[in-house]
Amino acid sequence: MQRIIIETPDSLSAILVGARWEAVTKLLPQGDVVIVTDANLFNLYGNRFPRFPVLKLKPGEDSKKLPVIQKLTTEMLRLGFDRTVFILAIGGGVVCDVAGFLASVYMRGVRCGYISTSLLAQVDASTGGKTGVNLGRIKNVIGTFRQPEFVICDTTMLRTLPDTEYMSGLAELIKTGLIGDRSIIDILENNQAAVLGRDRELLTDLVARSVRFKASVVAKDEKEGGIRRILNFGHTFGHAIELHQSVPHGFAVAAGMEIAARFSLEKKYIGVKVYDRIIRLLRQYGFHGEFKVTPRRVRELISHDKKKSGDMISFVFLKGIGKAEVKKLPVDEIVGFYSNFRDL
Ligand code: GLY
């Protein structure tokens, strides 16, 4: 088990990678606890949950909306919970985002911790304190920064993940390797069978590397005023693809990374060897980008991007394997590049 601390000016979040989720009982405070999970997780593990009231979400992105927060709040009030309640999220990115947001607004804020159950949540979404819900199709536009007190990343839980969700998480792992830790890329390139076989030890090592890198970034810039933006590598186009083509998040990010890598090549930030290596790795793990979204639609969709200010947008480029840099570019240039890219 590896214990990684994310320290920010006013919080300390302990990420326990490779711990067994049942150990959560040792981390919970005395007093009221409420569990937020989804119906799939409850069916798989519910009979072993600690004995506390359980609030269940419908699985999927559609639960990330304000009416769900209202419903959960009503239920918590009905159960008589006051400010001392501790919210324990057990689930993937959606559950952690919703429960974390609820914890940050219920009676102006209560304590929370997560058991993170999907690869995507373990390598990225559940650590770093971003919470939030969508407004219609605009993702995460209502949200807060709120560090959970702990996150348990039990890699044995990844065995029950549907293949698509597992692959989706691998794309975020590739992202972390490309922007910050080249050892992740080396491991993924050389251990495909063990990665796809969901080898527990290997996954614990990979998740820990990813969390360690993210912890170092979040400690420097919790509120995403600067360096934290690099964690959005592949996401500018990724979000547009996700919305337009309705593909799972990681697959859209993989396609977005392919476009961003090509843009980095055109800008001469990386050479052709590095570019080819990135594309080879994406193909090795079955990511064959489809770019159906039109440039016009890209322009519309990125108009709500949180990285945009005025006509400029912060775009993440690669400067090598394990090295990224954010540059402000006119939206026109990004859309223009994408137009050419699609014609290649
Ligand atoms: N998922 C990107 C971040 O946490 O900043």
Which residue's CA is the nearest one to ligand 1's atom 3?
231
Verify whether residue 235 is a known catalytic residue.
Answer: yes
**What residues line ligand 1, using a CB cutoff of 6 Å?**
124, 128, 130, 228, 231
Fold of 2-161: Rossmann fold (3.40.50)
Ligand 1 atom at minimum distance from 232 CA: 2
Q: How far is the CA of 13 from the centre of ligand 1 (A)?
A: 15
Verify whether residue 189 is a known catalytic residue.
Answer: no
Residues 209, 235, 244, 262: which is the catalytic one? 235
Average pLDDT over residues 67-71: 98
pLDDT (0 to 100) of residue 128: 97
Verify whether residue 325 is a known catalytic residue.
Answer: no
**Long-range contacts made by residues 339-344, C-beta under 8 angstroms, separation at least 24?**
339/295, 341/259, 341/262, 341/263, 341/291, 342/291, 342/295
Average pLDDT over residues 89-115: 98
Verify whether residue 333 is a known catalytic residue.
Answer: no
Average pLDDT over residues 13-20: 98
Verify whether residue 288 is a known catalytic residue.
Answer: no
Q: How far is the CA of 230 from the centre of ligand 1 (A)?
A: 9
| Domain 167-342 classification at class level | mainly alpha
Verify whether residue 172 is a known catalytic residue.
Answer: yes
pLDDT (0 to 100) of residue 245: 87
Q: What is the reported pTM? A: 0.96
234-257 burial string, b = 16+ CB within 10 Å, else e? Answer: bbbbbbbbbbbeebbbbbbbbbbb
Residues 64, 139, 146, 249: which is the catalytic one? 249
Tens of pLDDT, residues 146-156: 999 999 999 99
pLDDT higher than 90, residue 246: no
Average pLDDT over residues 54-58: 98
pLDDT (0 to 100) of residue 276: 98
Average pLDDT over residues 58-70: 97
pLDDT higher than 80, residue 344: no
Separation CA 112–CA 97 (nearest Å)? 12
Q: How far is the CA of 327 from the centre of ligand 1 (A)?
A: 17
CA 130 to chain centre: 9
Which residue's CA is the nearest one to ligand 1's atom 5?
231
Q: How far is the CA of 262 from the centre of ligand 1 (A)?
A: 22
pLDDT (0 to 100) of residue 343: 82
Task: Name the residue ranges covered by the structural domains of the chain.
Answer: 2-161, 167-342
Q: How far is the CA of 173 from the centre of ligand 1 (A)?
A: 12
Residues near 110 by beta carbon (within 8 Å), at least 6 away in sequence: 81, 83, 84, 85, 86, 87, 103
